[in-house]
Structure 1
Amino acid sequence: MQQFTLLFASILGGFAVIFGAFGAHALKKILNEDQLKSFETGVKYQMYHAIVLLLIGFNFNLETTSEKYMVYSFMLGIILFSFSIYGLVISSAKNKKLQFLGPITPLGGLLLVCGWCLLCYSILNM
């Protein structure tokens, strides 16, 4: 579980850099200021939580059920939160907004909050 967590975190961190560069350069030409800020929010949250997953992978055994749920909450939360923002922003820039992604973003955010709560729980039980 630790190796999987570290691998997933490193991949998400690398893609956050790629998406950040893509947003700053290629998308800057087609997005308005609000859309660019939303895209950057997705990138920031992806990177922040990739770093958290790295720290978790290096500092926890990830053997208990709550620790595993913590990792899965962060992983799924990152994907649902950040990637739904990317989809919403890019599709709206092309005037084909994918409305179904709207409710997915807060669900991803809720999973990130669950991950943080489970991290707190795991720290208190160390």
Structure 2
Amino acid sequence: MQTFVVLGSILMAIAVAIGAFGAHALKSKIEPDKLKVYETGVQYHIIHALGLIGVGLLADRYPDAGIIVTGGWLLLVGIVLFSGSLYVLSLKRVRLLGPVTPLGGLSFMVGWILIAIGVL
């Protein structure tokens, strides 16, 4: 499905930019533990953006790809909730986002499980 290949590619470009920003602009501006949190957000962002590209390729291969597509949308939600909350938590003192991060992780897990079921 072309939508996921495009989304994944755009999110990869954004992840590279966010990662470069962290490596160059933030390295001397935030504490090392907060930089580690930021880098974790970038790592998961990249992995799951690549996953979205894979979902796009899988959805074209399997005729009944509804569950794979649902898994892809959950990966997207996971990027926004998990990585997005880690970016904000590392840069701002917004503690309200703390509970959002695990919801993003749960979205990742359920998304991958649905993708596996869809392929089986």
- Common fold: TM-score over 0.5: yes
Q: Which residue matches 2:99? A: 103
- Structure 2 unmatched ranges of 5 or more: none
TM-score, scaled relative to structure 2 = 0.92
- The alignment covers a number of residue pairs equal to 118
Q: Using the alignment, how far apart are the partners of 1:58 and 1:64 within structure 2?
A: 11
Q: Which residue matches 2:90? A: 89
Q: Percent identity?
A: 41
Q: Deviations over 1:35-75 (max 9, x none)?
A: 11110000000000111111121222375431221111001
- Structure 1 unmatched ranges of 5 or more: 92-96
Aligned: 1:23 with 2:22: yes
Q: CA RMSD in A?
A: 1.3
Contact 2:59–2:69 (CA under 8 A) maintained in structure 1: no
Q: Using the alignment, how far apart are the partners of 2:69 and 2:48 within structure 1?
A: 15
Q: Using the alignment, how far apart are the partners of 1:105 and 1:33 within structure 2?
A: 20
Counterpart amino acid of 1:115? G
Counterpart amino acid of 2:90? V
**3-state SS of the aligned residue for 1:30?**
coil
- Quick one: which of 97, 105, 115 aligns to 1:119? 115
Q: 1:59 to 1:66 in 2, by over 3 A?
A: closer
Counterpart amino acid of 2:11? L
Q: Using the alignment, how far apart are the partners of 1:106 and 1:26 within structure 2?
A: 27
Q: Which residue matches 1:94? A: none
TM-score, scaled relative to structure 1 = 0.88
- Report the alpha carbon displacement of residue 80 of structure 1 after superposing the two structures with TM: 0.5
1:1-126 paired onto structure 2 within 5 Å: 2-61=1-60, 64-91=65-92, 97-124=93-120
